[in-house]
Structure 1
Amino acid sequence: MMFWKSVVGKLWFTIILLVSVVLFVLTILLLQFFENFHVTQAEQQLTKLADKVAAIMENYEDRTAALSTAWEIVDVYSTRVAIIGDETNYWYSPNDDKLSNLPVEMFKNDEKLSKVFTEKQTIVKQGDFPVKQNGEEIHNEILVVGVPMSLFTNENGAVFLYQSLDVVERTTTQARNIIYISAGIAIVLTTIFAFFLSTRITAPLRKMREAVFQVAKGEFETKVPSVSNDEIGELAAAFNRMGRQLNDYITALNQEKEQLSSVLSSMADGVITFDRKGEMLVTNPPAERFIQAWYYEQGMNDDEKAELPEDIQELFQKVVTFEREQMTEVAVQGRNWVIVMTPLYDQAYVRGAVAVLRDMTEERRLDKLRKDFIANVSHELRTPIAMLQGYSEAIVDDIAATEEEKKEISQIIYDESLRMGRLVNELLDLARMEAGHIELRESSVYLAEFTERVFRKFQGLAKERGVDLNLSNVEEGEELFIDADRIEQVLTNLIDNAVRHTQEGGSVSLTIQSVEAGVKFDVKDTGSGIPEEDLPFVFERFYKADKARTRGRSGTGLGLAIAKNIVEAHDGYISVHSKLNEGTTFSFFIPRKEQI
């Protein structure tokens, strides 16, 4: 910091300026006083001296003695005298070459000095007269005093005393020098006093300035030492109190900020706050994912500032205009977001808004699944119920004439009732599994014997459809801790689907691979395969990839969903790989568990 901008510099400059102004005014007044005083004193002195010389010249009969006395008196006062008796008689005091004689004609011809002769007045004149001083002709400031005198019979006589004003000038110069020296001493003393005063006043202020800088850097525990009981000491104490209160406030704000940040970060819903101009201020992770998805959909980079969707902008304008809560729904990257925006108030004015974004994709999906489930269940139940109703009416109305027809109708009614029973049981099983109420009766099972028994169940069906069955089994004695009935249900479902969707001459194989972590089962067929767009949905309830399958070949559409829940209940996973017209492979993995 420059010296002139500091408190010390300003204080020093102020005191110096004040002292300088006072000394300047005092110098002018003193010089004027000294000059006027000396001139006035000289006038009075010369006037008295002239009167005395005139009296001597008028009263003394001995002219020589009178002149001698006059010269002695004049010489005491270091002045010159010109005594003019008449036109021809005039006398000058002895010349010491310090100041030459003034011509008599000058006294008579001067407009002012001539009044001594004409008007019989005492005349005082200060002016610049050409005289010789030390042998040189100079124009010097001279004071002339003229007194009328009556000598002999001539009444036009006069005594003129004149003196150089160099004495006044010398006195003024000496006074000026004294004032200059005094001013210098005063400035030095003032500087010492200013710097001494600054150490008493500005030193605590400098410490307080350093403390302010520390507080500005975030060190709110900084304190200023209070060493006095004056205003500066009170200021230091007030600063320390302010620092403590500020530290408490900052701590409280940080705690509130951390709590708010934790709440926002832990929220499943996205939160965005806007200012009055609609610019985003605060976002949490779900909101940031929404914004990133929007930028990606618009083909923008993270560094590019992009406006939010028009629906949100319009919603913000409505909130600011109507000052009440508004809601809308936006679709971004295939996900549905419901946005509820509420105004934020600064006393009576709207200063912005806060938007809560909820990802409703899963809710919408579940709602669609619920509707599809109801539609599928209704469809699956409608057909057997209609057949039961139709064939029952045929029996009641005696449409079946022979016993064979009645037995055939009864068999159909029985098969459809079994179909309805299976559908209801599978729905109940699936509901319990999805609710987490599945109970596993686990035990140690020999895999070779277990898989051979399951595989033999399909020998007849495979032979009837002309499909070749292949089993790649594990070594004898290989064990796995599982619920045998549930895993058999999974294998039965997968093998049955593979056999039913494999054309004559194709093959279905079951491969079992044992590893340290568990056992992997692969059911592979050479059937028609599953379209690529249907693969993500094969484990959904009632989903059927082959939309053209006949009722005789189709199941309930719940088998794969049940298989998936059974495998996951064993802490495993299931997947599918397929290409159209190249076959399908269902794989599931069951981890090893310690026997309880």
Structure 2
Amino acid sequence: MIWRSVVGKLWLTIILLVAFVLSILTILLLQFFEDFHVEKEAEQMERLANKVASVIERYDDRDQALDTAWEITDFYPTRVMIIKDEEVNEGRWYSPNAHGLPRISLDVIKGDSVLNKVFTDGETVVKQGNFETATEAAFSNELLVVGVPMQIDGEDHGAVFLYQSLDVIAKTTGQARNLIYIAAGIAIVLTTIFAFFLSTRITAPLLKMREAATQVAKGKFDTKVPMVTHDEIGELSIAFNRMGRQLNNYVTALNQEKEQLSSILSSMADGVITFDKTGAILSTNPPAERFLKAWYYEQGMDEQPGTDIPEDINELFRLVVMLEREQLTEVELQGRSWVVVMTPLYNQSSIRGAVAVFRDMTEERRLDKLRKDFIANVSHELRTPIAMLQGYSEAIVDDIASSDEEKKEVAQIIYDESLRMGRLVNELLDLARMEAGHNELHYSNVHLQDFGQRIVRKFSGLARDREVELKFHLSNSDRMLMIDPDRIEQVLTNLLDNAVRHTPNDGEVSLLITSLEKGVQFNVKDTGSGIPEDDLPFVFERFYKADKARTRGRSGTGLGLAIARNIVESHRGQISVHSKNGEGTVFSFFIPDQPDK
């Protein structure tokens, strides 16, 4: 609607302003013309009255003087009243051409304080007002009366009065009023056209600027406003275009920062969650999403990011908001340990939310536990042989072993324990080198038939003593494999020794070598007691022993399977175990074909 637009408001403002000014000006002009006409008529009537008085005074012939006076006044819309003497009733003459004006009696003139001054003071007087007339007139009783003193026959008692109706003056003023109205109407029309033209000229750039602002609001920051003028609006267009360029630069920079921050968050190993001041989730990265999914799974809920979080995190958020400082907690979830550090986010002086960093400390805790267990196991493994060495050495020193046979037995024990300590140290050194990546392999092309038979023969005596049947099978007797034979023999020796020792009498131990397309599969299978299900995930850990009932003297160091795993992995292979209590165990490892060495 036009009154809601800038064009309409500007046009209406100019019209109202011009109309107001013209109205005031018209009123003033009308008043001026009315006063001007009255004043001019009064002056003219005064001159006419003086001329009539002069004619009456100069001519001795009264009739000739009156005829001359009537001729002089006949052309003016006035009526003349000549009074020779105010005291007598004779000597009063009225102009024959009355112009529709009635007679005014002498009593009315004498009864007026202003008009009576002509007789009393000998002054020329002018007055306009309503006067009582003798008869009905064609005009209103509002008259303009001019009176001048006159001497007749040397007497100062005479006067000449001219009066005319103000309606005649009003007619003249009305013509001027009509002209003023016409001029005011023309001025308003011209002003309307000019105001509309001016407002459209002013608002056309503003409309283009509004369209450009709409485009900018839609994200088109490269929109430009054409500069059609060189005034303030043109400068506004330049400023708008500059603002658009700056906004485009700022939005581009913000998008780059946002993408950079998103890339940083996505590539972080730690989880990050940002919260608003109500505790609702604003953004997450992949590790944090995995944490939430694990919690949703544990709670049996559907994935609804941003609706629910663990109560520990909620409590941490409340503490951060209340205390306005960083807080830390630890959450156990799905067997994993998470450390959560939450920091408040500020909006100038108030808190607008918080950011939480989730670090998965499971592996660090596991490694720390392994380190502690390693130290404890090494200490424990070394304490027994050292104590035995110390005890039997003291027996020799104190001559407790008196006979040569006893001394030889004690010396044999000391020797066995020293060998055991040596094996433990060597295995620890080997394992440390392997885990540090310093395991140097010496590859050679090995004939698996001869290789397997040689290893099986090594355990034939032990198997016979324990009444265990030992078997060997190779799927392809011509198969060759590029390996470090000493290291793979070490692996098989460890697996076969464990299998024979854990298989009861009349049991069976088999070494099965299967040739595959991309490598060779080695299986060591026994019919022994098996490994408990709870111990299966840990059998390849250092110092871990599934059979805790066996005495330490007859058991190994607990490093054999850990070393075996490292040897297999150094050959780019994989090792695994499958077992059931009472049904036996199968250790399997796969060695891929190696490129030419």
Equivalences for 1:57-72 in 2 at 5 Å? Answer: 65-72=64-71
Inter-CA distance 327–375: structure 2 relative to 1 (3 Å threshold) = farther
TM-score computed with the length of structure 2 as normaliser: 0.78
Deviates more, 1:479-488 or 1:190-199: 190-199
Q: CA deviation at 1:39?
A: 1.1
Deviates more, 1:497-506 or 1:42-51: 497-506
User: Is this contact kept in 1: 2:46–2:148, CA < 8 A?
Assistant: yes
1:126: which partner in 2? 128
Inter-CA distance 542–48: structure 2 relative to 1 (3 Å threshold) = same
Q: CA deviation at 1:122?
A: 5.0
Q: CA deviation at 1:178?
A: 3.1
Inter-CA distance 154–533: structure 2 relative to 1 (3 Å threshold) = farther
User: Is this contact kept in 2: 1:116–1:146, CA < 8 A?
Assistant: no
Letter aligned with residue 42 of structure 2: E
Partner deviation per Cα, 1:102-157 (whole Å, 9 max, x = no partner): 56388369655773687466554433568899x99775643334556688999987
Partner deviation per Cα, 1:530-576 (whole Å, 9 max, x = no partner): 44443332221112233333225532111221122122222222233
The alignment of Structure 1 onto Structure 2 pairs a total of residues equal to: 587
Q: CA deviation at 1:482?
A: 2.9
Partner deviation per Cα, 1:220-273 (whole Å, 9 max, x = no partner): 655555677666666666666666666666666666665565555544456678
Letter aligned with residue 439 of structure 1: E
User: How many Å separate the matches in 1 of 2:131 and 2:473?
Assistant: 149
Letter aligned with residue 48 of structure 2: L
User: Is this contact kept in 2: 1:84–1:90, CA < 8 A?
Assistant: yes
TM-score computed with the length of structure 1 as normaliser: 0.78
**Does residue 542 of the first structure (1) align with residue 522 of the second (2)?**
no
User: How many Å separate the matches in 1 of 2:139 and 2:481?
Assistant: 141
Partner deviation per Cα, 1:71-108 (whole Å, 9 max, x = no partner): 43333112234556765876554567x73525638836
**Does residue 304 of the first structure (1) align with residue 271 of the second (2)?**
no
Inter-CA distance 260–301: structure 2 relative to 1 (3 Å threshold) = closer
Q: CA deviation at 1:471?
A: 5.1
Inter-CA distance 142–288: structure 2 relative to 1 (3 Å threshold) = farther
User: How many Å separate the matches in 2 of 1:279 and 1:140?
Assistant: 93
1:323: which partner in 2? none
Inter-CA distance 26–381: structure 2 relative to 1 (3 Å threshold) = same
User: Is this contact kept in 2: 1:129–1:139, CA < 8 A?
Assistant: no
SS in 2 for 1:36: helix
Partner deviation per Cα, 1:308-366 (whole Å, 9 max, x = no partner): 4545765687675xxxxx785534433243749699998x9999998776544433322
SS in 1 for 2:74: helix
User: Is this contact kept in 2: 1:311–1:330, CA < 8 A?
Assistant: no
Q: CA deviation at 1:277?
A: 10
Q: CA deviation at 1:409?
A: 3.1
Q: CA deviation at 1:381?
A: 1.2
**Does residue 415 of the first structure (1) align with residue 416 of the second (2)?**
yes
Partner deviation per Cα, 1:448-478 (whole Å, 9 max, x = no partner): 5544443454444445445555555423333
Inter-CA distance 14–481: structure 2 relative to 1 (3 Å threshold) = same
Q: CA deviation at 1:529?
A: 3.8
Please report the RMSD computed on the Cα atoms of aligned residues, expressed in angstroms: 4.8
User: How many Å separate the matches in 1 of 2:403 and 2:42?
Assistant: 175
SS in 1 for 2:551: coil
2:374: which partner in 1? 373
1:382: which partner in 2? 383
Where does the alignment leave 5 or more consecutive residues of structure 2 unmatched? none
Q: CA deviation at 1:46?
A: 2.6
SS in 2 for 1:76: coil
1:400: which partner in 2? 401
Letter aligned with residue 330 of structure 1: E
Q: CA deviation at 1:37?
A: 0.3
2:555: which partner in 1? 554
User: How many Å separate the matches in 2 of 1:295 and 1:269?
Assistant: 19
Inter-CA distance 311–116: structure 2 relative to 1 (3 Å threshold) = closer
User: Is this contact kept in 2: 1:531–1:580, CA < 8 A?
Assistant: yes
Letter aligned with residue 31 of structure 2: Q
Letter aligned with residue 575 of structure 1: S
User: Is this contact kept in 1: 2:281–2:307, CA < 8 A?
Assistant: no
Deviates more, 1:446-455 or 1:372-381: 446-455
User: How many Å separate the matches in 2 of 1:296 and 1:127?
Assistant: 109
Q: CA deviation at 1:484?
A: 3.1
Deviates more, 1:242-251 or 1:362-371: 242-251
1:74: which partner in 2? 73
Letter aligned with residue 303 of structure 1: G
Letter aligned with residue 488 of structure 2: I
Deviates more, 1:245-254 or 1:275-284: 275-284
1:44: which partner in 2? 43
2:438: which partner in 1? 437
Letter aligned with residue 369 of structure 1: L
User: Is this contact kept in 2: 1:500–1:553, CA < 8 A?
Assistant: no
User: How many Å separate the matches in 2 of 1:469 and 1:109?
Assistant: 169
SS in 2 for 1:368: helix
**Does residue 586 of the first structure (1) align with residue 587 of the second (2)?**
yes
Inter-CA distance 343–304: structure 2 relative to 1 (3 Å threshold) = closer
Partner deviation per Cα, 1:461-507 (whole Å, 9 max, x = no partner): 44544555555542333343333333333333333333433444555
User: How many Å separate the matches in 2 of 1:200 and 1:114?
Assistant: 64
2:363: which partner in 1? 362
Equivalences for 1:69-468 in 2 at 5 Å? Answer: 69-82=68-81, 87=89, 92-94=94-96, 99-102=100-103, 104=105, 107=108, 111=112, 115=116, 119=120, 122-128=124-130, 139=140, 141-146=142-147, 159-194=160-195, 262-263=263-264, 265-269=266-270, 286=287, 301-304=304-307, 308=313, 310-311=315-316, 314=319, 320=325, 328=328, 330-333=330-333, 334-337=336-339, 339=341, 358-467=359-468
1:31: which partner in 2? 30
User: How many Å separate the matches in 1 of 2:337 and 2:292?
Assistant: 13
User: How many Å separate the matches in 1 of 2:262 and 2:165?
Assistant: 97
User: How many Å separate the matches in 2 of 1:93 and 1:469?
Assistant: 172
User: Is this contact kept in 2: 1:130–1:138, CA < 8 A?
Assistant: no
Q: CA deviation at 1:194?
A: 4.8
User: Is this contact kept in 2: 1:269–1:359, CA < 8 A?
Assistant: yes
Letter aligned with residue 416 of structure 1: E
